[in-house]
């Protein structure tokens, strides 16, 4: 979890009377501030990808988000009214006419194409697409390029249409330990497959972690399965071990 008592409960505060049945146990969520920024549209694109992916996995946050959207609706209701141009409605009707090519058919066709394409793309990349959030599936390129960072860690950058954040898959091989590193900027990690642990706990699919700049950590994947994460970083991660990158191969084969 990131910083202090955020208004958001990390473990299912009784927000509503009878919502205790959640399919997966997710213990780490985006905090209230981040959800608000997401719901109001001011969260940067890169971070919004991670929040959106988490929402698709987490019913608890879906409900929070529904409330925050309702709050937006309430603000809209209370906005000061400004008269629109006299011809606004007739202009709208002609815009509707112009746009009335059956867009829906196109959309459906498009979605089906991408769904089929996704499976192919994922298979090629060695990823099980079944449980991936929709938005992550869409980000899968035809050719995912894995880059080996150490024996235990590889990463593949994703094209997301923005430059502020680096969005990437990280894969830690089973039992693998990642070299100690810190961040110049905020780093968000969403676990997608498998699990990993660090000094503070163990993280499973759906868990959403925020690391503040300067926090140092050494994730280790669980023994039974490779761990796939989506990561969103403000700035490239730098290695801080005494011997820098040279240390990686040795660290990665040390027992956890």
If binding is defined by CB under 8 A, does position 10 make contact with another protein?
no
If binding is defined by CB under 8 A, does position 27 make contact with another protein?
no
Between 65 and 154, name the residue whose CB sits nearer to another protein: 65
If binding is defined by CB under 8 A, does position 239 make contact with another protein?
no
Q: How far is the CB of 107 from another protein (least distance, A)?
A: 10
Counting beta carbons within 10 angstroms of the beta carbon of residue 112, is it exposed (0 to 12), middle (13 to 18) or buried (19 or more)? exposed
Q: Which residues pair with 198 in a beta bridge?
A: 201
Give the Cα separation of 130 and 154 in Å (integer).
21
DSSP per residue, the chain: --SS--SS-SS----STT----SS-------HHHHHHHHHT-S-HHHHHHHHHHHHH-HHHHHHHHHHHHHHHHHHHTSPP-PPPTTHHHHHHHHHHHT-S-HHHHHHHHHHHHHHHHHHHHHHHT--GGGS-HHHHHH--SS---EESSSSEEEEE---S-SSSEEEEEEEPTT-BPPPEE-SS-EEEEEEES-EEETTEEE-TT-EEEE-TT--B--EE-TTS-EEEEEEESS--EE-STTGGGGHHHHHHS--
Of the candidates 36, 50, 58, 230, which one interacts with Zn ion according to CB under 5 A?
A: 58
If binding is defined by CB under 8 A, does position 90 make contact with another protein?
no
Give the Cα separation of 64 and 54 in Å (integer).
12
If binding is defined by CB under 5 A, does position 171 make contact with Zn ion?
no
Of the candidates 1, 2, 8, 29, which one interacts with Zn ion according to CB under 5 A?
A: 29
Per-residue binding string, Zn ion, 60-79, x by CB under 5 A, is xx------------------
If binding is defined by CB under 8 A, does position 62 make contact with another protein?
yes
If binding is defined by CB under 8 A, does position 26 make contact with another protein?
no
Region of 68-76, 176-184, 194-202, 207-215 interacting with another protein (CB under 8 A): 68-76
Q: How far is the CB of 169 from another protein (least distance, A)?
A: 14
Q: How far is the CB of 60 from Zn ion (least distance, A)?
A: 5
Q: How far is the CB of 232 from another protein (least distance, A)?
A: 12
**Binding partner of residue 29 among Zn ion, another protein, none, CB under 5 to 8 Å per kind?**
Zn ion
Between 159 and 242, name the residue whose CB sits nearer to another protein: 159
Q: Footprint of another protein on this chain (CB under 8 A)?
A: 6-7, 13-19, 32-33, 36-45, 48-49, 52, 55-56, 59, 62-63, 66-67, 69-85, 88-89, 91-92, 95-96, 99, 103-104, 134-135, 138-139, 141, 159-163
Q: Footprint of Zn ion on this chain (CB under 5 A)?
A: 29, 58, 60-61
């Amino acid at each position: 979890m990131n910083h202090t008592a955020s208004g958001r409960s990390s473990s299912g505060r009784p927000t509503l009377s009878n919502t205790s049945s959640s399919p997966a146990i997710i213990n780490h969520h985006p905090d209230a501030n981040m959800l608000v920024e997401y719901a109001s549209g001011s969260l940067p694109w890169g971070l919004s990808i991670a929040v959106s992916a988490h929402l698709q996995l987490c019913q608890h946050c879906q409900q929070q988000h529904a409330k925050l959207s309702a709050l937006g609706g309430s603000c809209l209701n209370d906005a000061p009214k400004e008269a629109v141009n006299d011809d606004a409605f007739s202009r709208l009707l002609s815009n509707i006419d112009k746009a009335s090519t059956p867009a829906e058919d196109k959309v459906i066709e498009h979605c089906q194409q991408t769904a089929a394409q996704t499976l192919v793309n994922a298979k090629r990349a060695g990823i099980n697409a079944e449980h991936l959030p929709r938005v992550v599936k869409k980000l899968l390129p035809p050719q995912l390029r894995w880059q080996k960072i150490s024996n235990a860690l590889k990463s593949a950058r994703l094209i997301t249409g923005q430059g502020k954040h680096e969005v990437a898959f990280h894969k830690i091989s089973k039992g693998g330990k990642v070299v100690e590193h810190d961040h110049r900027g905020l780093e968000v990690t969403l676990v997608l497959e498998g699990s990993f642990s660090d000094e503070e706990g163990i993280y499973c699919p759906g868990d959403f972690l925020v690391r503040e700049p300067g926090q140092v950590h050494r994730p280790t994947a669980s023994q039974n399965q490779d761990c796939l994460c989506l990561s969103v970083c403000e700035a490239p991660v730098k290695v801080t071990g005494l011997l820098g990158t040279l240390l990686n191969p040795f660290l990665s084969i040390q027992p956890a």
